[in-house]
A = this chain, B = another copy of it.
Amino acid sequence: MTDFAATKAMFHLPKGMIYLDGNSLGALPKGAADAVARTVTDQWGEMLITGWNKAGWMALPMALGDRIGGLIGAEPGHVVMGDTLSIKVFQALAAGLEMRPDRRVILSDSGNFPTDLYMAEGLIKALGKGHELRVVTPEEIASAIDEDVAVLMLTQVDYRTGRLHDMADLTRRAHAAGVVTVWDLAHSAGALPVDLAGAGADFAVGCTYKYLNGGPGAPAFIYVAPRHATRVSTILSGWQGHEAPFAFDLEYRPNPGAERLRVGTPPILQMAALSAAMDVWDMVDMADLRAQSMALTDMFIAGVEAACPMLSLASPRDANARGSQVSFAFADGYAAMQALIARGVIGDFRAPDIMRFGFTPLYIDEGDVRGAIDIISNVMNNQLWDRPEYKIRAAVT
């Protein structure tokens, strides 16, 4: 059994704060501060350029990829770290379109995180080949998969509602229609068990600053199935994905495997933080994490609904149908969330009316859930959110 009291002890959590926003930026693993400081002082400072070999910096994108791969059911050597999630979406989409040159549709849903849709738009416009981004509702996805579709691009867990797509079922349907799949695991990796190999996924992408706790701006990852890795096309054909980066050839020859999906020089300080964050996962069984996540979110829903009839559940009621977050709709949700934040319950707001709360069993326990319910009840039932200062929108919400 995973000892969640032990994992909680591995995080720094600010005093007086109940942090229900680990689905946006994960908390600081205590080991990260030291790991980053050592990388700066002992590696950058003392080894300088020789750190690329001596400290193993050059190998980090694949080594860290394997550690994340272990949480998402990826085959070793097929998860590659670097860049941002937006860039990794672009790589996967471009490669997917190239695999289906006879088709013109990228299919996605309105529950996808906007940047995924934006990256598709930019790619389609630049290619100028008449591709179409077709966006349907999440409920319509299964029936919208047909033989016009080149690529199915979905975020498994809806960032607003937490609604969970059935990856195995949709991948099977996609393959039956000859469709390439790109799964965005931004709200899945570290939040619930994922089995990419078992589902037969073609590509997957994700970020590491949410449930994986890699820190602000932590690098993204991309997965490519072994059956595609040796021939996948690389639109972002950077030198780190070259077969021999230090031969400095004038012509690009891709690395023979998944490592071709590397692009430029990896962000070593961010990777040091992420590496420390991954140490926590060595103590975690994903089935235990999922069970605890379901228990915490069920408890939260029951408590909030009992105390706050003015809040309306925007997440699936069935824990099996949602990720590790709970959202409530409330017309003055922005102000209400500001009032909660002022009282130490940190969630976030997503336009137009969603109050979103993330539950990361690594450092959130039943006591936190009870505490959060009490504060939410007080704020909502006493209309404490109805003050001018809570209604001023910040640049980042």
Chain A interface size, under 10 / 10 to 19 / 20 to 34 / 35 or more:
35 or more
Most buried by B among A46, A268, A269: A269
* Chain B residues whose CB sits within 8 angstroms of the CB of A59 once the complex forms: 395
What would 6 A/B residue contacts be, using CB atoms closer than 8 Å?
A: A28-B48, A84-B265, A85-B265, A86-B263, A114-B239, A135-B250
> Who on chain B is nearest to A271 by CB?
B217
- Residues on B with beta carbons closer than 8 Å to the beta carbon of A129: 128
Q: A114-B248, A248-B350, A346-B50 are in contact. Are A264 and B44 (CB under 8 A)?
A: no
A230 interface hit (Cβ, 8 Å) = no
Which of B21, B207, B264 is close to A83, meaning CB atoms less than 8 Å apart? B264
Chain B residues with CB under 8 Å of A115's CB are 238-239, 264
Q: A311 contacts the other chain (Cβ, under 8 Å)? A: no
Name A1-48 residues within 8 Å CB distance of B.
12, 14, 17, 19, 21, 24-25, 27-28, 32-33, 36-37, 40-41, 43-46, 48
A122–B83 contact, CB under 8 A? no
**B216 pairs with A57, CB closer than 8 A:** yes
Which chain B residue shows the least CB distance to A28?
B45
Chain B residues within 8 Å of A207, by CB: 265
Task: Give CA–CA (A263, B84) in the complex, Å.
Answer: 8
Q: Do residues B49 and A40 form an inter-chain contact, with CB atoms below 8 A?
A: no
CA separation between A125 and B127, bound complex, in Å? 10
Can you name the residue of chain B whose Cβ is closest to the Cβ of A393? B246
A108-123 contacts to B (CB < 8 Å): 110, 113-115, 117-119, 121-123
Residues of chain B within 8 A of A21, CB atoms compared: 48-49
User: Is A348 part of the contact surface with B, judged by Cβ < 8 Å?
Assistant: yes
